[in-house]
Amino acid sequence: MTDMPSEDEINARHAEKMKKIKAARDKILATKTVEKGLLIVHTGKGKGKSTAAFGMIFRSLGYGFPVAVVQFVKGSWETGERLALERFGDLVTINRLGEGFTWETQDRARDMAAARQAWETAKSLIRQGDHHIVLLDELNIVLRYDYLPLDEVITFLREEKPHDLHVIITGRNAPDQLIEIADLVTEMEMIKHPFRSGVKAQKGIEF
């Protein structure tokens, strides 16, 4: 039995180890001093890209910060988010300018015009700099279809985003040039999806 550490010994070792981790973490944290508005990208085939962006939007609303949302593709989020956002009144600016998914509209010319209109609104909101976060929801989808010139979008974000404004861009297939200029990029990967077992989209979960 002399080989088996007692619960007290395990706890003491744990405390010692955690003290070291804490010291190392504090040392690293002390070097993080820069504050700036981030360019954030949520991409990947998994779920949660727009949902995590809305999580940040609600967190900012909790603090009373104004936020703006430009929706580049209709249908990725709808009623639930909108109803929840409405609770925060004037703090929220929502622009639902995109068309439905391409296979719903089946109209390339209309989709392109809608993308252009959404992008012009996005540019004006970003230039204003009146918000804590501007969310460009599903912009990646529109870029993927070449409905907007990628160079124009990259140049604008790099040169005209105000220093303290956070911009979040969502959608699968984020272009490499966007990832390159972004500060924070997260890829949502699908490991398991209930759709495969015949489960349909459900209120509060999928929409």
Q: Identify residues 37-96 at the interface with its own copies (CB under 8 A).
A: 38, 40-44, 46-48, 50-56, 58-65, 77, 79-85, 87-88
Q: At residue 182, what are phi and psi to the nearest 5 degrees? A: -75, 155
CA angle 83, 144, 45 (to 5 degrees): 65
Site for its own copies in 143-202 (CB under 8 A): 166, 179, 182-195, 197-202
Site for its own copies in 112-131 (CB under 8 A): none
- Count of positions on this chain that bind its own copies (CB under 8 A): 87
Give the Cα separation of 204 and 38 in Å (integer). Answer: 29
Angle formed by the axes of helices 79-86 and 49-62, nearest 10°? 10
Q: At residue 110, what are phi and psi to the nearest 5 degrees? A: -70, -40
Cβ 33 to its own copies, closest distance in Å? 6
60 or 119: CB nearest its own copies: 60
159 or 198: CB nearest its own copies: 198
Cβ 182 to its own copies, closest distance in Å? 6
Cα 123 to the center of its chain, rounded Å: 18
Cα 52 to the center of its chain, rounded Å: 6
Cβ 127 to its own copies, closest distance in Å? 20
Cβ 62 to its own copies, closest distance in Å? 3
| Element containing residue 134 per DSSP (H, E) | strand 133-137
Site for its own copies in 4-43 (CB under 8 A): 7, 10-11, 14-15, 18-19, 21-22, 25, 29, 31-36, 38, 40-43
